[in-house]
Structure 1
Amino acid sequence: MWKLALMAGIALAGVGGGTASAQVVAIDSGRVEGATEGGISSWKGIPFAQPPVGDLRWRAPQPVKPWQGVRQATAFSNDCMQIPFARDAAPLGTPPAEDCLYVNVWRPAGAQPGDKLPVMFWIYGGGLVNGGASPAVYDGSELARQGVVLVSFNYRLGRFGFFAHPALTEANEDNGLLGNYGYLDQIAALDWVQRNIAAFGGDPNNVTVFGESAGGGSVSMMMASPMARGKFHKAIVMSGGGRRLRAELPVRSEAGPDGEDAGLGFAQWAGVEGTGPEALAKLRALPAEKVVAGIGIAQKPVAPSSGPLVDGFLLQAPPPDVYRAGNAAPVPFMAGANTADIGFAPPAEGDLFEARFGQFAQQAREAYAGFDGKELEAAINADAGMVEPARHMVQQMTKAGQPAWHYRAGYVPQAMRAEWPGLPHATEIPFFFKTIEARYPGETTPEDHAMAATMSAYFVNFAQTGNPNAATLPQWPVYDDESRPVMLFGMSEAQGGPDPWRARLDVTEAASEQRAAAGE
């Protein structure tokens, strides 16, 4: 592990000590003042759109109104409106509010406009109903210390971010941009990067989008959306699914269920009747607490809601279909999952293998030999939900002629080895961000830090060059569909090569392809 720490060494850019000092940068909406401390300059709470409140609720993000003087940008804004939950692996650092469309930037202190540092654009997860940019494990300081500019931001969640209703469709205030307001926020933040990141020393022509869970699914949205095309240049999907995403219903359809059905159901629950301008005004006047009711990872639903919608503009087809057609953004690509990731499936009726794998049941029994009980079902569900879909996306990008890399994170921090048999969903993030001390304060070991340095270095290399490899790191083989290699971040080392889980993933792939062919 000490070798890993040495191999992961990257020259620091603009690092120095000292107390905090002011940093003023001019952007397209005005001047912002951040702070420099410990060799890193940061700006927090910069607006990238007008507050989406009042008449701007359920509107595409609107341009920021310029300000005079210097705006203080040294503290996070409110995270977007949601109901936080106690077991969040990345607990919020600010109270949620509807006024939340703000961006944050970290850079090496010595960076100057024109330096053209690589940009890493982080999209948080949380099921599109929870999450924010303020959690300590998302702090961008340690990535910036390795010579990149790190950008994070907030986007609308739950019914604030994904909502359709006939009154909105009729008003058509944003020329067809309906339903996917949270995704529109993400693209607006990416547009902000294109316009402004050079002022912070970043390169708008070298932007890597990366995200975990729903953030990984959001990266897939960008890979599929014509509205994001050309605005980023590399992509990383972390435990983001990849075969079935919540973007399968249209905004409006005469043939079957659609997003407007959910919107009408919520309006009825909230006591709002009608489908005209008066109904829309009443919906926009609802207290935020009523709009958010029953929406959250730990909440029991009280009224209908929808997720992302195929709107014909931002999304013309579900992202998995775009990958399959070879039409995803033509950029270097990386995807992976964790060794104890999550997956969801209804309880199996009868034999588990017959229910999950059909004609491939015997092959699956052999592939999963050694598992039983709840551990068996958890492994099957995780492979189907996160682990194999990550490989599937890498496969599709490879078929489309793009270089792609597959990983699996399995290093369990020392503090959790008595509780975790593998690395659970979302717990890889502090390693790639090098923020493990924020996640496990006072409990980290030199081995933990060495692995974090290694994992983080691969991501930074990828952002810099489009290839995660460097002479100082173990070789990570580019993916090919014959040998199907993987980079394993294991309990003692990082090692690239043949996948020890290949039999499991191959039978999961076969069953998934069979279901897809049957239209299931």
Structure 2
Amino acid sequence: MSYKGICIHCSLFHEVKHGLYLGVVQTEGGKVEGKSHRMGLFSFVDVFKGIPFADVPGKWEKPKPHPGWDGVMKATKYRDRCLQVTLLQTKTQGSEDCLYLNIFVPQGSRVSKNLPVMVYLFGGAFLLGASNDVAILGDSLYDGKEMADRGEVIIVTVNYRVGTMGFLSTGDSRLPGNYGLWDQHAAISWVRRNIEAFGGNPDNITIFGQSAGAASVSYQMLSPYSKGLFRRAITQCGVALSPWAHQRNPMIARKVGCWRSDEDEMITCLKMTDPVDVELFLSLALLPTGVVMDLLELAPVIDGDFIPDEPSKLFHNAAQFDYLAGVNSMDGHIFAGVDVPSINKKNATTVEQVRGLLNGLTKEKGNAAVSSAYSVYTAHWGSAPEQAVVKKTVADIETDFLFLVPTQIALQLHANNTSGARTYSYLFNMKTRIPGFPRWVEAEHAEDLQYLFGKPFATPLVYFPRHRDLSGYMIAYWTNFARTGNPNTGESRVPVAWPPFTKYHQPYLTINNKISKSSIGFDLRSYYVNYWTQTYNSFPSIKREEKE
């Protein structure tokens, strides 16, 4: 890349005791300077924190280009998260000035050029989260240094608006919603335009994310606006088809205290209200009355623009992208523990509690569907099931319904629509490291992230060798996939060949610290996937009957 006739990429590298690091980099908005971190004897990672990819956004407006800056911006500190409620929903944190990203560039004995680029979208139920979230024993959970260094890829982590500022919608053109998705799109577009100056290949971008971040990746794949923008995608524990990943009734603006019979007046009232108050009012209005899933009322919507139709009808847009997707074996456990608290306690979990959970999840279908689902999930119980079996069944129901089945449908739709792009499926089932849970609990929601981001290497004292093995495997598969579209080929060796998922052949890789040939399975939980996609879907919707 050249700027005013000077090869910046060549001239701004500096030597650091046998290594190289990027000095000042010219971006479209101005010059930025990061900081070099030593990783090994001859390896370094340049870290740029807090680069703006858009201007301070207007309230419920799409992101706008950043006006730029003079001089050299010191990109050495993370910027504020986007305005959001705290986890306990008692107060707010963050700022409206939050559209920033962070870049991690590996350097060795040669100047990095043409590296694959991986852009990460964080999770947090579309309500909370940040690109530098949850600092545990040192660096942020999403610190990209280990992954960049070990996989020889550039890692980018981005902020986007969440909660009411990101996803409030009136269901029409006045407040269409999806502002958080537009932010993500703006960030990926910025990366495509600017990453070459950091040593990245703009034609080899992979987007990846976990939970709501995975659903966001899924929406970015399905949007017509993403054509040619990136090359591959990875979703971990969430897709656009997940029942919690979309708003069905986007009129919740009325709950904020801006009730007006005239909707234009209501919107004017909302725009004049302090955003901190909007965020707090709404979070209190959304406190759950049924199952945990009912809390997630703020999410993307079908707006006729970024998301022009039902997600299941948009997979022709995703046919161009290589796609890797999977779930954790107990993704639903943490939510099941809120809906049916007895599963994590000594007291018994009753038949009534299991039926109550199913009733909460399937309320749009009515009692016949509840009885049907109950008989499917209790078929293996026998006449006197052990409590561990009953409790694990509750976790399985919530995992299947919220995560596993929607992901399997997404994989199938991708494989059915693809024209040359590849599809891969996995199940992550490393036993939980969270103390205090029952013995039957396997991989909890979000437990994959510590391994993917290399925490067992960054903070070795709190992990065992088996955790480093797993971390190495995941980084290898993920970064190989980003480099070539095939998790088996690239710069990193992998323990076993991972076969692709196709229209007629559905293998998956079980990911833990003991990956071998026997880790390849087929037709993941197909009995339950078939139940939800065929039998359950054949029950009429109660709401539809009422309308008729």
AA of the residue aligned to 1:473 = P
CA contact (8 A) 1:414 1:448 kept: no
Match among 449, 455, 462 for residue 443 of structure 1: 462
Correspondences of 1:192-211 after superposition (within 5 Å): 192-211=190-209
Q: How many Å separate the matches in 2 of 1:321 and 1:304?
A: 23
- Specify the alignment match of 1:314 in structure 2: 306
- Specify the alignment match of 2:482 in structure 1: 463
- Specify the alignment match of 2:212 in structure 1: 214
- Specify the alignment match of 2:32 in structure 1: 32
**Mean Cα deviation higher: 464-473 or 341-350:** 341-350
- Specify the alignment match of 1:477 in structure 2: 499
1:156-200: per-residue Cα shift (whole Å, max 9, x none)?
A: 01100012349x945x8xxxxx31111110100011011101111
Deviation at 1:249, TM superposition (A): 5.1
Correspondences of 1:138-217 after superposition (within 5 Å): 138-145=142-149, 146-165=151-170, 169-170=173-174, 178-217=176-215
Deviation at 1:113, TM superposition (A): 8.7
- 3-state SS in 1 of match to 2:156: strand
- 3-state SS in 2 of match to 1:507: helix
- 3-state SS in 1 of match to 2:132: coil
Q: How many Å separate the matches in 1 of 2:20 and 2:272?
A: 42
- Indicate how the Cα distance of structure 1 residues 364 and 95 shifts in structure 2: closer, same or farther if over 3 A, else same: closer
Correspondences of 1:323-342 after superposition (within 5 Å): 323=315, 326-342=316-332
Q: How many Å separate the matches in 2 of 1:78 and 1:352?
A: 40
CA contact (8 A) 1:217 1:240 kept: yes
1:347-371: per-residue Cα shift (whole Å, max 9, x none)?
A: 6548979976765766654567776
- Indicate how the Cα distance of structure 1 residues 160 and 338 shifts in structure 2: closer, same or farther if over 3 A, else same: same
Is 1:243 paired with 2:241?
yes
- Indicate how the Cα distance of structure 1 residues 244 and 304 shifts in structure 2: closer, same or farther if over 3 A, else same: closer
- Indicate how the Cα distance of structure 1 residues 374 and 412 shifts in structure 2: closer, same or farther if over 3 A, else same: closer
Percent identity of equivalent pairs: 29
Deviation at 1:300, TM superposition (A): 2.9
Q: How many Å separate the matches in 1 of 2:109 and 2:239?
A: 36
- Specify the alignment match of 2:400 in structure 1: 383
- Specify the alignment match of 1:6 in structure 2: none
CA contact (8 A) 2:473 2:494 kept: no
- Indicate how the Cα distance of structure 1 residues 300 and 512 shifts in structure 2: closer, same or farther if over 3 A, else same: same
Q: How many Å separate the matches in 1 of 2:141 and 2:270?
A: 36
**Mean Cα deviation higher: 240-249 or 353-362:** 353-362
Is 1:300 paired with 2:305?
no
- Indicate how the Cα distance of structure 1 residues 229 and 296 shifts in structure 2: closer, same or farther if over 3 A, else same: farther
Correspondences of 1:51-450 after superposition (within 5 Å): 51-52=56-57, 56-85=58-87, 96-110=94-108, 115-135=113-133, 136-145=140-149, 146-165=151-170, 169-170=173-174, 178-241=176-239, 243-246=241-244, 258-259=249-250, 261-268=251-258, 275-276=263-264, 280=267, 282-293=269-280, 300=287, 306-323=298-315, 326-342=316-332, 349=355, 364-366=377-379, 372-401=389-418, 402-412=421-431, 416=435, 421-436=441-456, 442-450=461-469
Q: How many Å separate the matches in 1 of 2:502 and 2:15?
A: 39
CA contact (8 A) 1:413 1:448 kept: no
Deviation at 1:286, TM superposition (A): 2.3
Unaligned runs of 5+ in 2: 1-13, 39-43, 134-139, 290-294, 340-352, 360-366, 542-548
CA contact (8 A) 1:15 1:109 kept: no
Deviation at 1:15, TM superposition (A): 12
Q: TM-score, normalised by structure 1?
A: 0.81
- Indicate how the Cα distance of structure 1 residues 361 and 110 shifts in structure 2: closer, same or farther if over 3 A, else same: same
AA of the residue aligned to 2:398 = N
CA contact (8 A) 1:103 1:151 kept: yes
- Specify the alignment match of 2:48 in structure 1: 43
Deviation at 1:319, TM superposition (A): 1.9
AA of the residue aligned to 1:216 = A
1:207-249: per-residue Cα shift (whole Å, max 9, x none)?
A: 1111000001001101111112211111111000453445655
AA of the residue aligned to 2:228 = G
- Specify the alignment match of 2:508 in structure 1: 486
Q: How many Å separate the matches in 2 of 1:24 and 1:95?
A: 32
Q: How many Å separate the matches in 2 of 1:375 and 1:499?
A: 21
Deviation at 1:320, TM superposition (A): 3.0
Q: TM-score, normalised by structure 2?
A: 0.77
Q: How many Å separate the matches in 2 of 1:284 and 1:112?
A: 52
CA RMSD of aligned residues (A): 3.7
CA contact (8 A) 2:355 2:370 kept: no
- Indicate how the Cα distance of structure 1 residues 236 and 21 shifts in structure 2: closer, same or farther if over 3 A, else same: closer
Q: How many Å separate the matches in 2 of 1:194 and 1:415?
A: 38
1:253-306: per-residue Cα shift (whole Å, max 9, x none)?
A: xxxxx52x222332426xx78544x76554333223212115569983799964
Unaligned runs of 5+ in 1: 1-13, 88-93, 173-177, 251-257
